[in-house]
Amino acid sequence: MVENKLLQEIEKGNWVWSWNGSCPYYLLEPLFLEPTKLYLEKFHSIKLYAILSKDHGKEISAYLVSDDKKIEEESRKYLDANAGKYIKGYAETIKKTEKVVESYKIDVRDARGRKINAQDWQCLSNLLIKNIEFYLISQPEITSSLGKELLVEINKNCKDPEEAIKIVQEVTQPKRTILARNASELNKIAARIKTEKDLDKKEIREEIFDYYWKYRSFYMMDLSGSIEREFQRVLDAVIELKNKKKETASGAWHHNEYNLSQKARKLAGQIKEIGALRLEGKNAWLNLCLLIINVFDFVSRQAGIDGKELANYHFHEVSELLEKNFAGSMPLAKRKTSAFVMSSEKIHEFNEGDAKKIIELIVKPIKKASSVTGTVAYHGKVEGTAFIIKAQDSLSKKIKEIIGIKNPILVAEQTIPAYLPLIDKACGIITNEGGILSHAAIVAREFKKPALIGTKQATLVFKTGDKIILDTEKKIACKERC
């Protein structure tokens, strides 16, 4: 039963749509709930945060109630005091994550499994929570204060406001990102392949698997953990690169020299470091999520419990079952529809009837529009056809579909490395999420694609097939003439 006081807060809250996605239900806890609670403990200007789950996690949406002015003040104070410590801690967490993921490689590659105990399961959970906690702090609502301060500093010596924005975009672009390393390593593998028969050689196949395991998030089709489908995409990429001599984005960014103040250089340096870590971090935590899904299959086989049934448990409940060596069974709550409403103090969980009531209160008042505004990641004006992709969509199907779209403008909640084939085909990019440090912003500049990011609700306003205009000069994307 929903408490009346909480119900009133939910009903009166000025909710803003945040993102949409999907994941196995048992991943909700370490991927969303726990790290978000830690995030709210640091930034009290986010009053409420709701994660709404339908069909056992196949459709997840997030909404929040925040004080945007206060969050900018809070974030600036936090970064002033913790930027150096944060950058160091995030880098160390990424390295630790890569090491842990690597330690499971042979077990997953050879499908030999591994006996998992409660401690193994909990360690993976704690590591994922830590990754997402760092990743959330790199969100645009926190780091945008750095960009705004840098822009103010550059405007002191730049008379043209538009030129100042371009300078900010250039001096904050990481010189070499994970995108560059991925492209370089893939090119080296392709160069070793003389004929397609070489792909059957054990040493070549193992080398390709080593590359794939390192950059697995670039090739994931969805959060199913399917090694076969993902690895086939790597093989296809190698063959395409070999036969067509097709180059991927270099990931390199050639900087002009600007006479920046000491303060501007420091700010630009922090933004570049956090931007590069955000890309590295996304690859790390997505790889970790995919690993946990594979480990979950180990647990299911080990317990002799059907994976579809076990998938309805919370992460901590699976841990409890492991501690008991699956002696006895725990009753499952009805969780087809769930709503989690969070503050810095508590996570409130509701299921079925109560959850549906809360979802209606949050979602119903949000009105759709015919246009969106956002932050410019790369300048330009394009007219084209909206092409929507959501996290729960089949990526392989979307890659085939975009070929038939004339002048597609990619509209996504956010971009991930696996979307590079879509970005390559698109004439423009629009995202719900993102700031100057986001994957979408960095990739848009590397591919030189006009991009509008951080629009909050582009995937709600537009649908695939809509004729739209993306005009970065006006910072708008609309269905009719802007």
Give the pLDDT confidence of 15-69 residue by residue, as tens digits: 888 777 788 899 999 999 999 999 999 999 999 999 999 988 888 989 999 987 8
pLDDT the model gives residue 27: 94
pLDDT the model gives residue 221: 76
Rounded-to-integer distance, Cα 400 and Cα 392, Å: 16
pLDDT the model gives residue 256: 63
Q: pLDDT exceeding 70 applies to what percent of the chain?
A: 94
Res. 333: pLDDT tops 60: yes
pLDDT the model gives residue 175: 76
What is the arrangement of strands in the sheet containing 408-412, beginning at the earlier edge strand?
Answer: 371-373, 476-478, 467-471, 381-389, 408-412, 428-431, 451-453, 375-378
Res. 76: pLDDT tops 50: yes
**Over residues 164-173, mean pLDDT:** 82
Task: Give the model's confidence band at 118: pLDDT under 50 very low, under 70 low, under 90 confident, else very high.
Answer: very high
Q: Radius of gyration of the chain from Cα atoms? A: 23
Rounded-to-integer distance, Cα 277 and Cα 88, Å: 10
For 371-478, which CATH class? Answer: alpha beta
| 399-436 per-position pLDDT tens digit | 999 999 999 999 998 888 889 899 999 999 999 887 76
**Over residues 87-113, mean pLDDT:** 94
Q: Which long-range contacts (CB under 8 A, 24 or more apart) does 419-425 make?
A: 419/389, 419/395, 420/179, 420/218, 420/248, 420/249, 422/387, 422/389, 422/398, 423/447, 423/449, 424/249
Beta-ladder partners of 384: 468
In the chain, residues under CATH classification 3.50.30.10 are 371-478
pLDDT the model gives residue 248: 46
- At residue 47, the 3 state secondary structure works out as strand
Query: β-strand 451-453 against 428-431: which pairing, if any?
Result: parallel
Structure tokens at 414: 């956010």
pTM: 0.81
pLDDT the model gives residue 249: 46
Res. 443: pLDDT tops 90: no
Please say whether the beta carbons of 198 and 204 come within 8 A: yes
Rounded-to-integer distance, Cα 325 and Cα 480, Å: 60
Q: What is the mean pLDDT of the chain?
A: 88
Please say whether the beta carbons of 297 and 284 come within 8 A: no
pLDDT the model gives residue 413: 85
Structure tokens at 440: 């979408």
Top-confidence residue, 473 or 326? 473
